[in-house]
């Protein structure tokens, strides 16, 4: 697979919703040592961009999220699926272990900040702690 083909494939991941078939194809592809070094930063940017889109969606919808508990459930599950998808993307063969660890740490840091923001907002709105518990129970399980 050429460098241009890789860039096209990564661009597709940047512009589409979760697609497990495409993800499996991506994970099955072997990298080419000649251009893996150039692909790693592009891949990192893709992961960052997708995570930023998900983060922006939650932040933009904060008021709606806290107005409707069913909507909150939907948004939290959707965010969780996106983050798990991004973590699964880190298994691509073009990344070596240190790159995987670094990208996962970046994802974890950003996700933890979002959950802290949601929890803080929940505690401001609902002193009973029900919304806070809902947010915590829908957190990402980091292994």
107-137 pLDDT, tens digit each: 999 999 999 999 998 888 888 888 889 888 8
Alpha helix locations (H) across 61-96?
62-67, 69-89
Task: Tell me if 49 sits within 8 A of 14, measured CB to CB.
Answer: yes
Query: What local confidence, expressed as pLDDT, does residue 101 receive?
Result: 94
Query: What local confidence, expressed as pLDDT, does residue 32 receive?
Result: 79
**Mean predicted confidence (pLDDT) in 13-25:** 80
pLDDT digits (tens, 9 = 90+) for 20-38: 888 888 888 887 788 888 8
CA separation for the pair 133, 54 (Å, rounded): 21
* Bigger pLDDT: 65 vs 86: 86
Sign for the pseudo-dihedral over CA of 26, 46, 20, 12? negative
Q: What are the distances in angstroms from CA 122 to CA 41, 57, 63, 118?
A: 36, 17, 11, 6
pLDDT digits (tens, 9 = 90+) for 68-104: 888 888 899 999 999 999 999 999 988 889 999 999 9
């Amino acid at each position: 697979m050429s460098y241009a083909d890789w860039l096209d494939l990564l661009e597709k991941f940047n512009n589409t919703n979760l697609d497990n078939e495409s993800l499996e194809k991506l994970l099955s592809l072997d990298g080419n040592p000649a251009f893996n070094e150039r692909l790693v930063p592009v891949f990192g940017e893709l992961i960052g961009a997708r995570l930023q889109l998900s983060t922006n969606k939650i932040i933009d919808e904060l008021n709606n999220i806290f107005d409707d508990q069913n909507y909150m459930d939907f948004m939290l599950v959707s965010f969780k699926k996106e983050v798990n998808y991004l973590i699964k993307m880190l298994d691509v063969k073009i990344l070596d272990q240190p790159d995987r660890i670094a990208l996962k740490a970046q994802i974890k840091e950003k996700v933890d900040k979002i959950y802290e923001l949601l929890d803080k907002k929940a505690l401001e709105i609902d002193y009973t702690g029900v919304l806070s518990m809902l947010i915590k129970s829908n957190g990402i399980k980091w292994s």
